[in-house]
Structure 1
């Protein structure tokens, strides 16, 4: 059972790069399964609680930091909204990679319409790309930390 939980957690870590897998949620679900199936004790619940806290912080930072970075580059909220909508559409049009492609295309088109300058629109788009990469890095670090907490729990509990 421990091996299966570990494999599911690694799949969750893979979910950071693959938009179809709910990365951090999958890791947290595997941790809950381990907590319940391994004869739950107070120690198991403490490990699970720490994992959930890391999940919450990682989830919040994954969206807050890139959004702040993108708006700091001059992009406005309506551009981000259009980018998010095209990201959702892109997810269905181009499986797996459509969400990032749609988001980038959306921010570029919205900023091009707003600023009437391809150079300024491209600067906003680059900031959005940097934000996406930063969000993925934050999510990966949170996932790795969640798995690390679980491994520590295996050793100590």
Structure 2
């Protein structure tokens, strides 16, 4: 694989890692697609091994990501109403401030829901922090896996 294509694969991997942190961007799938692209052009034992290992890791992480938050979220008292407020806030934030506005909108939606339910500012913020910790765990698990795959890719490039 020539240098320009290698740089493009690296850019896709970087966008995937950043995409894990941005709501609505399929960061994990971008990382996997970058490794797939590289393995299809490289066609070496190391490339195929990395593709198989990263596929297995990222699939396991998807399962963990979907199992982990519901348990933690139920533990902190997340309701369907709160999820609706958070989703509406994320959409509104995304429209008002494209891309980066989704995160503050999401947090604002949770705060508004909890402020209505609990009545006080302090209790609402405590609830928002608990929810964000529960959601943050799944994001950190996914980010760690993507960084592990990108690190393995970079190590394979240097080693081969």
The verdict on a shared fold, with TM-score over 0.5 as the criterion, is yes
Q: Which residue of 2 aligns with 1:95?
A: 98
Instruction: Work out the number of aligned pairs and report it.
Output: 156
Any idea what the Cα deviations from partners look like across 1:41-86, whole Å, max 9, x if unmatched?
Answer: 5653332122122222333444543443333122323212321232
1:134-157, Cα deviation, whole Å (9 max, x unpaired): 333222211111113323544677
Matched, 1:5 2:9: yes
Q: Give the alignment partner of residue 85 of structure 2, picking from 82, 85, 91.
A: 82
Contact kept? 1:90, 1:99, Cα under 8 Å: yes
* Corresponding residue number in structure 1 for 2:72: 69
Q: Which runs of 4+ in 1 moved over 6 A?
A: none
Equivalent residue for 1:139?
Answer: 142
Q: How far does the alpha carbon of each residue in 1:17-64 deviate from its partner, in whole angstroms, 9 at most, with x for none? A: 3447532221111111111112x3565333212212222233344454
Higher relative contact order (CA 8 A, sep 6+): 1
Q: TM-score normalized by structure 2? A: 0.76
Residue 150 (1) aligns with residue 153 (2) = yes
Mapped contact 2:115–2:124 kept (Cα < 8 A): yes
TM-score, normalised via structure 1 length: 0.78
Stretches of structure 1 that go unaligned for 5 or more consecutive residues are none
